[in-house]
Amino acid sequence: MIYLDYSATTPVNKDVLDSFVKASLEFPGNSNSLHTLGVRCNKLIESATKQIADIFKIKETEIIYTSGSSESNNLAIKGVCMKYKNRGKHIITTHYEHSSIYGPLSYLQSEGFEVDFVDSDEFGLVDLKHLESLMREDTILVSINAINSEIGILQPIEEIGKIVKKNPKCFYHVDLTQAVSKVDINLENVDLASFSAHKFFGIKGIGGLIKKEKIVIEPLIHGGKSTTIFRSGTPAHPLIVSLAKALRLACDDMENKYNKVLELNNYLKEKLNKYDNVYINSNDKCIPYILNISIINIKPETFLHALEKYEVYISTQTACSSSNSLSKSVLDLTKDEARAKSSLRISLSYLTTKDELDKFIEIFDKCIKELTLNGKNN
């Protein structure tokens, strides 16, 4: 098997899984219980929370545990807007967000909120001057992801934060899902940030929302004691422990991991550039972990399933996107409908090897020739 879909999800690190199993079997209590087992479970959570807070350079009280980034994004966006709607109902975002951003924004529009989309430059980066011009007295939230999950565009998070902070009534939310363990993000001017364990070799079903201490949000889930008043439910201490372990391991030696992936990315681009009908959509402002390409005249689903026969796995768009044949992110970046209709995402990790890429190119070449010969096109 050649797995090149790490941006969709990562395989669980065995040490992380071992932590989960140990916490589940040796600490079977409910952390809300007053007996000894409950106290032990609560101490596990406190220890894990401290580790996570230290890595993000935030306070322990600023972490809300969720089921993952989709819940975190919904909690951040709905939570802020419903709590502070008396300040205004204007929201700003980009054309490069995840569906779990657009979903709650669409809901809020039905509740009378107004959403503006900031322009981007030829690289897909936020136009800072346009963002500044969109900011209004009644702007309550700016939500912009750190890294686009489909193309890999890395946004200037710090510069955006400085602009947002000029309006003391406005909050700044950053979706960190594709950034954690890959690049360092300064959260000084960020009010809320979402992340999910399964993107950095953790277990599915656990993630978090970083919420700065002075901010109050309206919960999505009410009732039941938890680690915070902002998200009810029995704390899943085995998952929380595993999240801390995954984060610690993933962030270890981050620079060397990045450089290895960059080398692999450059090698892969060099191999793909020889095909006349293959276009590389990811640019120099993108992280090397994601390489988005378009194969003109071959449907992306057709090519994906052709690779699948050889146990090679990549993506069309993002795993959580709707069944839409056109990539809005690629269209916005390239202004080319043909490329937007035929885009594929190859995502790498530090576990990827050059031998795997050589084998991938060999199979890629075989599939592209077979499909072109058989006329399996758009």
Backbone angles phi, psi at 113, to 5 degrees: -80, 155
Both tokens of residue 21? 């199993």
DSSP string, 122-138: TTS-B-HHHHHHH--TT
Q: What's the farthest any 2 CA atoms get from each other in the chain? A: 70
The single residue of 41, 81, 170, 320 carrying the catalytic annotation is 320
Token pair, residue 126, equals 């936020």
DSSP codes of every residue in 48-109 = HHHHHHHHHTS-GGGEEEESSHHHHHHHHHHHHHHHSTTT--EEEE-SS--HHHHHHHHHHH
Q: How far apart are CA 48 and CA 88, in angstroms?
A: 37
φ/ψ of 192, rounded to 5, equals -140, 145
Is residue 168 helix, strand or coil? coil
Determine the Cα–Cα distance for residues 242 and 13; give it in Å rounded to an integer: 10
320 flagged as catalytic? yes
Number of other CB atoms surrounding residue 373 within 10 Å? 8
Q: What are the tokens at 68?
A: 């993952």
Query: How many residues make up the chain in this entry?
Result: 378
The Cα–Cα gap between 162 and 294 comes to: 35
Strand segments (E) across 118-179: 139-143, 171-175
**Count of beta carbons in the 10 Å neighbourhood of residue 57:** 10
Q: Where are the beta strands (DSSP E) in 227-347?
A: 278-280, 290-295, 312-313, 343-347
Active site (catalytic) residues: 320
